[in-house]
Amino acid sequence: MSERLCYIRRTDRGMVLRGLRLVSGHTDDAWSVEPGADTDLVLETINEAGEWIKQRLDGTTSKHLDALVLDPDGAVCTWVKPEDADPTMLDAAISEGPIEHDPDELEPVTHSALGERLPRLPREVDFETLSDEQTSTGARRAIIAFPDVPGRLLKDTLDSMGVRPGRYTSIWHALCAAWDPGLGSSSSASRIVSSDAPIGAVVAIDPNDARLIWTWSREGQLICAGTMRLRRAHGEHEPRAMVRHGDIARLCADWLSWSSQLGVSPSRIVVIGEPMPAEFDENTPAQDRPLDPAQMGAMLTQRWPEATLDLLGEPDPVGATLQRLAQREQSSTLGTIAGLEARPTRAHRSMFRWSGLALTAAACVVFFLAWQMMSRSGAIKADTREITKLKTDTLSAYNSNLVLSPQPVWDLEAERNQIARAQAPIQIPPPKPILRALETVSYVIGVPGAEISKITVNTRTVTLTLDVDDVSQAEQINSALRSIDDSLLVWNSFNPQPRGGKVQATYIASWQQDGGQS
């Protein structure tokens, strides 16, 4: 099944629709704006074009349109530095007005080279940076700019009619996908371990618009492109275009500039078209002399000797390109215009509407939940006030001072503990086994020369004061007391003090916690 492609012909630097061409594998229909039509009525012209496309699609079994192809009218391709390849910077450089210069100043006038290479472009322009994978490392990057207002309006009109093209591209991309000599070889040589696809140049001579269109590409991927006007000549049955010496010289000069900027050059050249030779007198300058196909091929070979040249005698290169794409169905290799393809359609607007409705519904649900939470918050606040009032009344009835206390809970806890202690039964601790302890001590201190001066007993300690002959005897008694093996007393300290001819020794012991009762 063949594809259908619609070629958009424009004028006035790409801002006004001039005609359409609907091409498939077996059909080629054309529509053009009436000669007396008012070109200012842009929307009416676009609506008529959309109706014509829909009528042509309704008469076929399949109502699908595979691609919209823009002509190169008003399009520009140039190079920039890699760091300047940004749509915002490009737009600012082009929009920059002329710099005012005072003739008395010594500083030279500076111009924006980018602004000079993209002159007088309309505001509705999409800039697209071409891929740098096919060029040398560190080289300039190519950008293309398409004034695509008719394409946008036609896309909106077709979308309202239910026709949605699959791709939005240009004749530059179409020439690469249809005639690139390295495109078919790379796909057929899948078993080759290593291959370097050549860079191909395609030159199309369009007699209908008297225009020369050229592209560089590798494996169908656009590297750079350009157009130039040709002198129109009228044949017997159809329009023709003349290619002169100056046209080929200008083409090769452009190629030389691109080669120096990108670091690559084409090794295959495919020329599509039939330039019309014309008679000239001997006084005609060399650059104005028309060339026949053989002379044009010889001149290209002379100016670009390293490339292989193929001449294809097609009277209608644009139609042949579109039919070749329609029959080969190579839409996967056909490049696109990103800005035009990304323009929202009715499906996008429907998605936005449904998304808005979903967000509105979610907002309503959130509002309902918030309202419920606010209602519950009001009820909780009312309960809190009721509980606070009940607490205040209860505390006032018990103790009015607790109402003003910053810590009423702690104050109540302190009073509760005080009441609990006041109501608890009095516990008398068991008596200490004093008699048993004295009996045990009497065995130790009953030695000659030791006299008991004082014995003090209480619930915590036992203090024994002895008068002995000397310090050594006091130390012996201390050792004997510490060596007693029982669970009554623990002798902790010993303090001897001389008194006259005697030594007064004081021994202190503490009661064991688990001591027995007497």
Distance, CA of 70 to CA of 15 (rounded, Å): 12
Looking up residue 466, the CATH number of its domain turns out to be 3.30.70.60
- Using alpha carbons, select from 511, 507, 494, 506 the residue that is nearest to residue 460: 511
What pLDDT score was predicted for residue 386? 92
Tell whether 109 is covered by a domain: no
Place of tokens 């008694």: 477
Average pLDDT over residues 381-403: 83
Whether residues 379 and 259 share a domain: the answer is no
**pLDDT tens, position by position, 37-53:** 665 677 888 999 999 99
Whether residues 156 and 305 share a domain: the answer is yes
Whether residues 222 and 330 share a domain: the answer is yes
What pLDDT score was predicted for residue 488? 83
**pLDDT of 408 strictly over 70:** yes
- Of residues 53 and 120, more confidently modeled: 53
**pLDDT tens, position by position, 317-338:** 999 999 999 887 555 678 888 8
Residue 102 banded pLDDT, cuts 50, 70, 90: very low
What pLDDT score was predicted for residue 93? 61
What pLDDT score was predicted for residue 97? 47
Contacts of 161 (CB under 8 A, 6+ apart): 50, 51, 54
**pLDDT of 12 strictly over 90:** no
Residue 49: exposure state from Cβ atoms within 10 A (0-12, 13-18, ≥19)? buried
Tell whether 164 is covered by a domain: yes
- DSSP assignment letter at 189: -
User: What does R_g of the chain's alpha carbons equal in angstroms?
Assistant: 54
Whether residues 417 and 333 share a domain: the answer is no
Total domain count for the chain? 3
**pLDDT tens, position by position, 277-319:** 766 666 667 667 788 888 899 999 999 998 999 999 898 999 9
Q: Are strands 461-468 and 451-457 parallel, antiparallel or unpaired?
A: antiparallel
Tell whether 103 is covered by a domain: no
Contacts of 504 (CB under 8 A, 6+ apart): 453, 465, 466, 467, 496, 497, 498
Tell whether 191 is covered by a domain: no
Q: How far is CA 156 from the centre of its chain?
A: 29
Tell whether 264 is covered by a domain: yes
CA 444 to each of CA 153, 464, 496, 504: distance values in angstroms, whole numbers, following the listed order = 125, 12, 17, 16
Average pLDDT over residues 373-391: 91
* Whether 247 contacts 228, CB under 8 Å: yes
Domain edge (last residue) among 286, 321, 343: 343
Place of tokens 């001579």: 205
Distance, CA of 212 to CA of 70 (rounded, Å): 15
Whether residues 146 and 55 share a domain: the answer is yes
| Share of residues in the chain with pLDDT > 90 (%) | 31
Residue 125 banded pLDDT, cuts 50, 70, 90: low
Whether residues 12 and 72 share a domain: the answer is yes
**pLDDT of 439 strictly over 60:** yes
Contacts of 263 (CB under 8 A, 6+ apart): 135, 136, 138, 139
- Of residues 434 and 330, more confidently modeled: 434
Distance, CA of 28 to CA of 20 (rounded, Å): 11
* Whether 128 contacts 335, CB under 8 Å: no
What pLDDT score was predicted for residue 391? 80
* Whether 219 contacts 197, CB under 8 Å: yes
Residue 23 banded pLDDT, cuts 50, 70, 90: very high
What pLDDT score was predicted for residue 288? 72
Distance, CA of 199 to CA of 266 (rounded, Å): 5
Contacts of 49 (CB under 8 A, 6+ apart): 17, 20, 31, 154, 157
Please give the single-letter amino acid code of residue 302.
Q
- Which range of residues forms the domain containing residue 329? 5-94+114-181+197-343
Whether residues 378 and 331 share a domain: the answer is no
Tell whether 409 is covered by a domain: yes
Whether residues 261 and 378 share a domain: the answer is no
Average pLDDT over residues 229-252: 83
Distance, CA of 264 to CA of 131 (rounded, Å): 14
CA dihedral 461, 463, 464, 469 (to 10 degrees): 130
Tell whether 428 is covered by a domain: no
Whether residues 445 and 486 share a domain: the answer is yes
Contacts of 303 (CB under 8 A, 6+ apart): 248, 249, 252
3-state secondary structure 408-465: HHHHHHHHHHHHHHHHCCCCCCCCCCHHHHHHHHHHHHCCCCCEEEEEEECCCEEEEE
Using N-to-C axis directions, what is the helix angle for 317-328 and 171-179, rounded to 10°? 60
Domain edge (last residue) among 323, 343, 363: 343
Contacts of 267 (CB under 8 A, 6+ apart): 198, 199, 200, 306, 307, 308
Distance, CA of 173 to CA of 69 (rounded, Å): 9
CA dihedral 219, 225, 229, 231 (to 10 degrees): -30
**pLDDT of 425 strictly over 90:** no
Whether residues 61 and 148 share a domain: the answer is yes
Tell whether 416 is covered by a domain: yes
Helix (H) or strand (E) holding 494: strand 489-499
Whether residues 203 and 82 share a domain: the answer is yes
- DSSP assignment letter at 92: H
What pLDDT score was predicted for residue 177? 92
Domain edge (last residue) among 395, 423, 451: 423
Using N-to-C axis directions, what is the helix angle for 149-160 and 42-58, rounded to 10°? 50
Whether residues 39 and 143 share a domain: the answer is yes
CA 366 to each of CA 145, 147, 293, 355, 359: distance values in angstroms, whole numbers, following the listed order = 47, 46, 75, 16, 10
DSSP string, 337-380: -HHHHTS--HHHHHHHHHHHHHHHHHHHHHHHHHHHHHHHHHHH
Helix spans in 142-180 (H):
149-160, 171-179
Distance, CA of 10 to CA of 30 (rounded, Å): 14
Distance, CA of 51 to CA of 184 (rounded, Å): 37
